[in-house]
Structure 1
Amino acid sequence: MSSDFIAIGHIQDIPRRGARCINTAFGRIAVFRTAEDEVFAMDDRCPHKGGPLSQGLVHGRAVTCPLHNFVISLESGAALGADEGEVQTYPVRLEDGRLFIALSALPLAAE
């Protein structure tokens, strides 16, 4: 495991088709688990009206915002369909049931 990645929990901490959040100095990051046990991380804020994506419905490799039904790609962070906008995504790894996120990608300190 690269020293750039830090442990953030276990895959069992996240229900299938659900999410859990980690807090940083500049906001919350949602970590999603698909039905196929793929894991993705992105800002917990819909580009439309700032809805909490972690409370949305995970389907396939997308999440639907619980406020206004915007659909966001878990892979790219881009809004899908007719929706517009983008969410910052973060590299996340799964190794032996443990989750790791790229430290260099986290907004932990002002530049």
Structure 2
Amino acid sequence: MRVPLGDPAGRERWTVTHEDRSYLVLDLGDRLVVTDALCPHKQNPLAAGLVRDGCLVCPGHWYAFDLATGACRNAAETPLPLHPVVAEGEMLYAEVKVEPELSWSERLRAYARGSS
């Protein structure tokens, strides 16, 4: 799914909502980084997080996510999804992978396996 990012002119960070889901866009000077707007750890809003040493630091529990890989420096099992940015003409978009909705039986099996 392509998510339009709007015009980055003069902005260092902003959020975009598309189809009931919010994304955080960060302008790092040499590139744009797009991720989910909520921390994967405890769903805290990342828009208020600090960008430091190449990481986005969640303001809720101080989890630090590498903005090049999405890896969490505090908990390897909690990566931050990063969405590639593509240009089409003068428009910028994030390519967001849409996961198929699981049935209840698939959810229960995943939970039983410990991969909910």
Q: Given the two structures, how large is their TM-score scaled by the length of structure 1? A: 0.69
Q: Distance in 1 between matches of 2:36 and 2:9?
A: 21
Equivalent residue for 2:109?
none
Tell me: CA distance 1:33–1:96, structure 2 relative to 1, closer, same or farther (3 Å): farther
Contact 1:56 1:66 in 2 (8 A): yes
2:85–2:94 Cα contact (<8 Å) kept: yes
Does structure 2 conserve the Cα–Cα contact (< 8 Å) formed by 1:77 and 1:88?
A: yes
Residue 5 of structure 2 corresponds to which residue in structure 1? 8
Amino acid at match of 2:15: C
Higher strand share: 1
Give me the whole-angstrom Cα distance separating, in 2, the residues matched to 1:46 and 1:68. 10
Q: CA deviation at 1:25?
A: 2.1
Alpha-carbon shift at residue 14 of structure 1 (Å): 2.1
Give the equivalent residue in structure 2 for 1:27: 21
Matched residues in 2 for 1:73 and 1:7: separation? 23
1:101 shift after superposition: 2.0
1:20-99 to structure 2, matched below 5 A, reads 20-34=14-28, 36-80=29-73, 82-84=74-76, 85-93=78-86, 99=92
Gaps of 5+ in 1: none
Q: Which has the higher contact order (CA 8 A, sep 6+)?
A: 1
Q: Which consecutive unaligned segments of at least 5 residues does structure 2 have?
A: 103-116
* Alignment: residue pair count: 101
1:101 and 2:74 equivalent? Answer: no
Please report the RMSD computed on the Cα atoms of aligned residues, expressed in angstroms: 3.0
Distance 1:67 1:6 in 2: 26
Partners of 1:92 and 1:79 in 2: CA distance: 21
Alignment check: 8 A CA contact 2:3 2:18 kept: no
Q: Is the 8 A contact 2:23 2:37 kept in 1?
A: yes
